[in-house]
Chain A
Amino acid sequence: MKMNKMRADVQALLFLLPFLIVYLLFTIWPMIKGVQMTFYKWTLIKKMDYVGWSNYSKMLRDQEMWDALWHSTIFVILTTPTMIVLAIVLALIANRKSRMQKFYRSIFFLPSVLSVAVASFLGLFVFQPYTGLVNSVLHLIGILNEHREIYWLTETNLAWIAVSLITLWWTVGFNFILYLSAMQDIPDEIYEAARLDGANDRQTFWSITLPYLSPITKTIAMLQIIASFKVFLQIQIITGGGPLDQTRPIIQLIYQTGFKKNDLGYAATMSYMLFAILLILSIIQYAINNRKGANT
């Protein structure tokens, strides 16, 4: 565009202005403000006492914080690989040419449009002992003796499994769609050529489909890790962080510290811990994506 330099500057500014205002006020400024808050004992009514670095030294010795970080990490470990495998399996199902193709696509994506609160409460009821859907079905088909119950939500390990299953059910739709469209981008000729060479379905899957999916898998894996690290509401609703805070993730601890214990300064300090971790993960993701210009 041939434009007068000054005019271009003014026009660009006008176009950028609305974004810059909200970005500066509600992203950049809070980030700077937050650093200040970490040096204070800062309450909800903004009573501020300067405490120097003590929030930081307290955090590093705070077992609750490390536990909560570990719980978020457990959730990442439980949900990331399972999410990828499940999304690929569902995409394979829906990619197969049949009359049911569209039906499968709708069904697998449907839970993703539910509100997080609805999905979590559904999960809570599905995993109730006695009358919950899972236990009743297990009773019905005889896997579970009718006089025994599985207490999904009151045993730590089972609670993790329940929360992970709900999350997979609720969020796999997005990744499923990404895989499905990646699979549909693979040229048919490659499969035909392989079949002419006598390759069966399993061989074409391992040596054609999967390699083609590898760039998108890297992206999905990293985005999934970051998203899982930020888990909060599902756990808040389904287990409440219990039993005995054994499933409490870092965001729940930050919320409780800030708003229940009235200590925004310390809560802000812990948010920067989370920030640091997410930053490192994002940089790794960026590095992976930009290597060989994959996934563009």
Chain B
Amino acid sequence: MKWLYRAISLLAAIVFLAPVIWMLVVSIKKEGMKIITVVDWFTPPYSFAVYDEILNGTKLTNWMLNSVLVAVAVTLLTVIIAAMAGFALSKVPFRYRAFMFFFVLAGLLIPGEATIIPLYQVAKDMDLLNSYEGLVIPMLASPVAVIVLKSFFDGVPNDLLESVQIDGGGVWRIFAHIMLPLIRPALASMAILTFIGSWNNFLWPFLSITDDNLFTLPMGIPTLMSQYSEDYVKPMVVNTIASLPIMLLFIIFERQIVKGVSLSGIKG
């Protein structure tokens, strides 16, 4: 029984890892070699010439930088904006609070894909197409983030705030110096999910960007691939270059990422 369990586990790991290993191996294979069986992929001659060619001869690194810039900007702004809104909904006793809460909650029911066509028209009217601003600003409204962060602010006891106020702390100080540090795990979790979402966002850049200097990776990669029909080596080099930084990040931050994902399930 135990060996069966181990065998299945190992097999699953191999299946999950195989495409990534294959990608890495093919990417360092010399171009134009004859491939007869699967073993041929793994044998020499190896060569890094294609890496040079792709890194220097295409805009791939450009697009990667775009993807990183856009994802970082979207993540920071989304989390800050959502934290502010979540704080107001949770801790500031203003009029119409219940109405405002439902107004945000309703946003959970509006999928971005369903409003993407009119969003294109709206962004066009505002002259946001083909710009970094256009890649970032329309993606910042995240009702999910507001609701999740609000529920974490709800968990902070009110007497804590009152004691700070007696000390003469203003509402901004309470927010920035007391509340935000208290919900740091939730902020990190939201940030990780927003980053991955933005990193993978395809539909909006695809519709709103036509200038290839502004492409992000999910858009640039298919454009590049359509030129390579001969061999697997160039496409695999593209895939590898696009994946190595994010895989490295994953290895470094694995614990935080895993924690972030599991936290999202508790509240999601």
Chain A residues with CB under 8 A of B187: none
Knowing A2-B165, A27-B141, say if A34 contacts B200 (CB, 8 Å).
no
Chain A residues with CB under 8 A of B161: 1
Chain A residues with CB under 8 A of B258: 105, 109, 177
Chain A residues numbered 3-20 whose CB sits less than 8 Å from any CB in chain B = 3, 5, 8-9, 11-13, 15-16, 18-20
Interface residues on A, range: 35 or more
Chain B residues with CB under 8 A of A29: 122
Per-residue CB proximity of A173-205 to B under 8 Å, as 1/0? 010011011100000000000000000010000
Closest to A267 in B: B117
Give the Cβ gap from B232 to chain A, nearest Cβ, in Å.
6
Please, how many angstroms separate the alpha-carbon atoms of A214 and B110 in the complex? 27
Q: Is B94 an interface residue (CB 8 A)?
A: yes
Chain A residues numbered 49-105 whose CB sits less than 8 Å from any CB in chain B = 89-90, 93, 96, 100, 103-105
Q: Is A153 an interface residue (CB 8 A)?
A: no
Closest to B218 in A: A117
Q: Is A19 in contact with B81, judged by CB distance below 8 angstroms?
A: yes
Knowing A13-B94, A22-B137, A93-B9, say if A116 contacts B218 (CB, 8 Å).
yes
Q: Is B239 in contact with A16, judged by CB distance below 8 angstroms?
A: no
Please, how many angstroms separate the alpha-carbon atoms of A278 and B246 in the complex? 31
Q: Is B13 in contact with A103, judged by CB distance below 8 angstroms?
A: yes
Q: Is B45 an interface residue (CB 8 A)?
A: no
Please, how many angstroms separate the alpha-carbon atoms of A103 and B217 in the complex? 28
Q: Is A121 in contact with B235, judged by CB distance below 8 angstroms?
A: yes
Please, how many angstroms separate the alpha-carbon atoms of A94 and B35 in the complex? 36
Q: Is A230 in contact with B265, judged by CB distance below 8 angstroms?
A: no
Please, how many angstroms separate the alpha-carbon atoms of A110 and B162 in the complex? 45
Give the Cβ gap from B43 to chain A, nearest Cβ, in Å.
13
Closest to B105 in A: A286
Q: Is A156 an interface residue (CB 8 A)?
A: no
Give the Cβ gap from A125 to chain B, nearest Cβ, in Å.
6
Chain B residues with CB under 8 A of A225: none
Q: Is A15 in contact with B88, judged by CB distance below 8 angstroms?
A: yes
Q: Is B115 an interface residue (CB 8 A)?
A: yes
Q: Is B46 an interface residue (CB 8 A)?
A: no
Chain A residues with CB under 8 A of B268: 219, 223
Chain B residues with CB under 8 A of A237: 222
Q: Is A258 an interface residue (CB 8 A)?
A: yes
Knowing A113-B247, A178-B261, say if A271 contacts B203 (CB, 8 Å).
no
Chain A residues with CB under 8 A of B39: 140
The A interface is mostly helix, strand or loop, or mixed, namely helix
Closest to A8 in B: B94
Partner of B19 from the list A27, A122, A136 (CB cut-off 8 Å) is A122
Give the Cβ gap from A20 to chain B, nearest Cβ, in Å.
8
The number of residues on chain B lying at the interface, defined by a beta carbon within 8 Å of a beta carbon of chain A, is: 100
Q: Is A161 an interface residue (CB 8 A)?
A: no
Chain A residues with CB under 8 A of B95: 5, 9
Q: Is A110 in contact with B242, judged by CB distance below 8 angstroms?
A: no
Give the Cβ gap from B210 to chain A, nearest Cβ, in Å.
11
Q: Is A251 in contact with B242, judged by CB distance below 8 angstroms?
A: no
Q: Is A290 an interface residue (CB 8 A)?
A: no
Give the Cβ gap from B267 to chain A, nearest Cβ, in Å.
8
Per-residue CB proximity of A106-140 to B under 8 Å, as 1/0? 11111111111110011101100001010011011
Q: Is B250 in contact with A16, judged by CB distance below 8 angstroms?
A: no
Q: Is A178 in contact with B262, judged by CB distance below 8 angstroms?
A: yes
Q: Is A259 an interface residue (CB 8 A)?
A: yes
Give the Cβ gap from B215 to chain A, nearest Cβ, in Å.
11
Partner of A106 from the list B80, B100, B254 (CB cut-off 8 Å) is B254
Please, how many angstroms separate the alpha-carbon atoms of A180 and B262 in the complex? 8
Q: Is A104 in contact with B262, judged by CB distance below 8 angstroms?
A: no
Please, how many angstroms separate the alpha-carbon atoms of A226 and B112 in the complex? 12
Q: Is B199 an interface residue (CB 8 A)?
A: yes
Q: Is A232 an interface residue (CB 8 A)?
A: yes
Please, how many angstroms separate the alpha-carbon atoms of A20 and B93 in the complex? 18
Q: Is A287 an interface residue (CB 8 A)?
A: no
Chain B residues numbered 165-196 whose CB sits less than 8 Å from any CB in chain A = 165, 171, 175, 196
Chain B residues numbered 106-139 whose CB sits less than 8 Å from any CB in chain A = 107-111, 113-124, 126, 137-139
Give the Cβ gap from B133 to chain A, nearest Cβ, in Å.
12
Q: Is A232 in contact with B110, judged by CB distance below 8 angstroms?
A: no
Partner of A115 from the list B82, B110, B118, B243 (CB cut-off 8 Å) is B243
Please, how many angstroms separate the alpha-carbon atoms of A114 and B139 in the complex? 21
Knowing A15-B87, A126-B19, say if A115 contacts B261 (CB, 8 Å).
no
Task: Identify 15 new A-B residue pairs, CB closer than 8 A, beyond the known A15-B92, A111-B16.
Answer: A5-B95, A15-B85, A15-B88, A26-B137, A100-B9, A104-B12, A115-B218, A121-B235, A122-B23, A131-B35, A133-B22, A136-B41, A182-B265, A254-B116, A271-B115
Q: Give the 6 A-B residue pairs with the shortest CB-CB distance, closest first.
A: A34-B118, A136-B38, A181-B262, A12-B94, A275-B114, A15-B88
- Chain B positions near chain A (C-beta within 8 angstroms): 1, 5, 8-9, 12-13, 16-20, 22-23, 35, 37-39, 41, 67, 80-82, 84-85, 87-89, 91-95, 97, 100, 104, 107-111, 113-124, 126, 137-141, 143, 146, 158, 161-162, 165, 171, 175, 196, 199-200, 202-203, 206-207, 217-219, 221-222, 225, 232, 235-236, 238-239, 242-243, 246-247, 249-251, 254, 257-258, 261-262, 265-268
